[in-house]
Amino acid sequence: MRPLTSRRPKVMLPVGGRPFLEEILARARAAGVTRIVLVVGYHQEVIRDHFGSGERLGMKIEYVVQDKQLGTGHALSMARDLAEDRFLVLNGDVLPETSTLQKMISIGRPAAAAFRVADPRRFGVFLIDGDCMAEVVEKSQDPPSNIANAGIYLLDYDIFLALEALTPSARGEFELTDGLNQLAREGAQIQIVEMGEWIEIGRPWDILDASRAVLSGRKLAMEGEVEAGATLLGSVAVGKGTRIRSGSYIDGRKYPIFIGPECNIGPNCYIREGTCIGRDVRVGNAVEVKNSTVMDGTKIGHLSYVGDSVIGETCNFGAGTILANLRHDGRNVKAMVKGELVDSGRRKLGVIMGDGVKTGIHTTIYPGTVIEAGYRSLPGAILKGHVEL
């Protein structure tokens, strides 16, 4: 997820106008969960500062620190002393359905959530015996099923005993899935519960689809000021203290649009479907923003285009900055992930931009470009690939 995670953990990236982790906790609360233990590590202060003791969410939140990132099994083991007899285990990058959580809670034995996928090579998958897990198989180029492990479990204290017996995996980590397999070998009946919807944040562009899905299921509020001459269509949320200036055209008919608090929008801009704008964002004259996430404090002053992009906090666009999102040949856009050029699976993908980037006037950015936090471009620059400091 870098460079978006250079200053925050992945779980705190915004989806639908609030951190992804907050969306997870809200759904857990709706399912009846009132106590949460968060296993934190990287930039843990961002999580603690945002959630505190959980009173705002109507929950009790406690924290456990995982100093060394030694795998999912190790992370769960860190919370052993705070565990109750039965508990949900949720990954911070997977959004559960409230109905699935309620069903899992009602089952009188351990359970694991699953989702049938078209391309299981990206995921660990389950082998099933009846309605129970026979084995979970890590991701491979030749997966034995298309029933993906959704990373959501209802477990009991036996999992800690299974984790105690593990040795490190090939990548030197203690894997929770190895613990599940150990339980299955010992005869545990872990029921598989299939989900109707599964949203995972694994790569930067997943934020765009996740935001769209989250906003489609949420009641949107109109709290800001809309001047005469502005046009708002379809599902549009406008935060408190935000002003939508005359001539702005905001079209949420196809997919909802979220505009956060204290923003300055327009005049004469065009905001299109699927866009999610954070707090204190400026979208100026003759700017078009389409299906993009723009984080807090970013300024897109005038004469710019932002399409299918994820923009970090406190960026500043010089006049005439263009973020292209479509290849001339119409093929899928590729982008750099962990030093490797990967197919995004998207025909349209703009820019993944870290925090604090500033572009000079008339900067042009190719589709799929990844720009590291703090980069400064010269006027008239052409950026592509992986742009480092």
> What SS3 state is found at 61?
strand
Establish whether 302 is a catalytic residue.
yes
Q: How far is CA 63 from the centre of its chain?
A: 21
Output DSSP code: residue 197: -
Phi, psi of 385 (to 5 degrees): 75, -135
Residue 382's beta-bridge partner residues?
364
- Can you read off the two tokens belonging to residue 241? 């203290």
Q: What angle do helix axes 20-30 and 98-106 make, rounded to 10 degrees?
A: 50
Residue of 302, 328, 362, 386 marked active site:
302
How far apart CA 230 and CA 215 sit, in angstroms, is: 22
Q: Bridge-partner residues for 311, per DSSP?
A: 294, 353
Q: Give the Cα separation of 223 and 275 in Å (integer).
A: 18
Q: CB neighbours (10 Å) of residue 165?
A: 10
Reference 208, options 61, 347, 385; nearest CA is: 347
**Residue length of the chain:** 389
**Cis peptide, bond prior to residue 267, ω within 30 of zero:** yes
CA–CA gap between residue 282 and residue 352 (Å, rounded): 19
- The CB density around residue 136, as the number of other CB atoms within 10 Å, is 22
Residues taking part in catalysis: 302
